[in-house]
Chain A
Amino acid sequence: MTLLHDPTAETAPLVRPRAAPPASLDGKTVGLFDLGKSRSDEFLDHLEARLRAKGAVTRRFAKPTNAKPATPSILADIAGGADVVVEALAD
Chain B
Amino acid sequence: METRPAPPTTRFTAVVKDDCETCQLVAPVLAEIAGAGRDLVVYWQDDGGFLGDAVPNAADRKLEHSFRLGVEAVPTVVRWEGDAEAGRVVGWHRTEWRSLTGLDGLGAELPEYQPGCGSRSVEPGVREALQVRFGDTGIRSRTVRTPPFADPVETCYDRGWTDGLPVVPPTPERILRMLEGTSRPPDEVVAQVPPEMAPCTVEKVAINAVMAGCRPEYMPVVLTALEAALEPGFTLHGVTCSTCFASSVVIVNGPVAERIGMNAGLNALGQGNRANATIGRALNLVVRNVGGGRPGEIDRATLGGPGKYTFCFAEDESDPAWEPLSVSRGARPGRSAVTLFAGDGIQGITDQRSRTPDELARSLAMALQAVGHPKLYEWAPAVLVLSPEHYAIFREAGWGRSEVVTALHERLRRPGSEVVAGAGGVPEGVPPSRAGEIVPKFREGGLLVVRAGGPAGLFSAVLAGWPGGRAYKESHPVTKEIDE
A11 at interface by CB-CB < 8 Å: yes
Residues in A neighbouring B169, C-beta threshold 8 A: 2, 4
Residues in A neighbouring B471, C-beta threshold 8 A: 36, 64-65, 67
A7 at interface by CB-CB < 8 Å: yes
Q: Are B196 and A4 in contact (CB under 8 A)?
A: no
A10 at interface by CB-CB < 8 Å: yes
Min CB gap B350→A, angstroms = 32
A2 to B144, CA, bound (A): 8
Q: Which of A8, A36, A67, A68 has the most CB of B within 10 A?
A: A67
Known contacts A6-B142, A7-B141, A9-B198; A69/B289 CB under 8 A = no
A69 to B230, CA, bound (A): 13
A53 at interface by CB-CB < 8 Å: no
Q: Are B207 and A3 in contact (CB under 8 A)?
A: no
Q: Are A5 and B232 in contact (CB under 8 A)?
A: no
Q: Are B146 and A2 in contact (CB under 8 A)?
A: yes
Q: Are B152 and A9 in contact (CB under 8 A)?
A: no
Q: Interface residues of B, CB < 8 Å — how many?
A: 45
Q: Are B238 and A7 in contact (CB under 8 A)?
A: no
- The residue in chain A whose Cβ has the minimal distance to the Cβ of B197 is A69
Residues in A neighbouring B204, C-beta threshold 8 A: 7, 9
Neighbour of A66 across the interface among B139, B143, B195, B468, CB < 8 A: B468
Q: Are A1 and B198 in contact (CB under 8 A)?
A: no
Known contacts A67-B235, A68-B238; A6/B475 CB under 8 A = no
Q: Are B175 and A11 in contact (CB under 8 A)?
A: no
Residues in B neighbouring A65, C-beta threshold 8 A: 235, 238, 468, 471, 474-475
Q: Are A66 and B148 in contact (CB under 8 A)?
A: no
Min CB gap A13→B, angstroms = 9
Interface mask (A40-77 → B, CB under 8 Å = 1, otherwise 0): 00000000000000000000000011111100000000
Q: Interface residues of A, CB < 8 Å — how many?
A: 18
B156 at interface by CB-CB < 8 Å: yes
Residues in B neighbouring A68, C-beta threshold 8 A: 232, 235, 237-238, 474-475
Q: Are A66 and B238 in contact (CB under 8 A)?
A: yes
Interface mask (B237-250 → A, CB under 8 Å = 1, otherwise 0): 11100000000000
Q: Are B172 and A5 in contact (CB under 8 A)?
A: yes
B257 at interface by CB-CB < 8 Å: no
A11 to B150, CA, bound (A): 26
A23 to B285, CA, bound (A): 45
Residues in B neighbouring A11, C-beta threshold 8 A: 196, 198
Interface mask (A10-42 → B, CB under 8 Å = 1, otherwise 0): 110000000000000000000000001000000
Q: Are B290 and A8 in contact (CB under 8 A)?
A: yes
Q: Are B144 and A4 in contact (CB under 8 A)?
A: yes
- The residue in chain A whose Cβ has the minimal distance to the Cβ of B152 is A2
Q: Which of A2, A8, A65 has the most CB of B within 10 A?
A: A8
B44 at interface by CB-CB < 8 Å: no
Min CB gap B431→A, angstroms = 11
A57 to B139, CA, bound (A): 55
Q: Are A4 and B289 in contact (CB under 8 A)?
A: no
B324 at interface by CB-CB < 8 Å: no
A3 to B175, CA, bound (A): 11
Min CB gap B55→A, angstroms = 38
- B residues 202-237 touching A (CB-CB < 8 Å): 204, 207-208, 211, 232, 235, 237
B170 at interface by CB-CB < 8 Å: yes
B464 at interface by CB-CB < 8 Å: no
Residues in A neighbouring B142, C-beta threshold 8 A: 5-6, 10
B200 at interface by CB-CB < 8 Å: yes
A4 to B154, CA, bound (A): 12
Neighbour of B171 across the interface among A4, A6, A69, CB < 8 A: A4
Neighbour of A1 across the interface among B146, B207, B475, CB < 8 A: B146
Residues in A neighbouring B237, C-beta threshold 8 A: 67-69
Return the 8 tightest CB-CB contacts between A and B, nearest first.
A9-B198, A67-B238, A67-B468, A67-B235, A65-B474, A6-B142, A67-B475, A5-B141
Given contacts A8-B290, A67-B474, 11 further A-B contacts (CB under 8 A): A1-B147, A2-B145, A2-B146, A4-B145, A5-B141, A5-B142, A7-B170, A7-B208, A9-B198, A10-B141, A67-B471
Sample 9 A-B pairs with CB under 8 A, ordered by A number: A1-B148, A3-B171, A7-B285, A7-B290, A9-B198, A9-B291, A64-B471, A64-B474, A67-B471
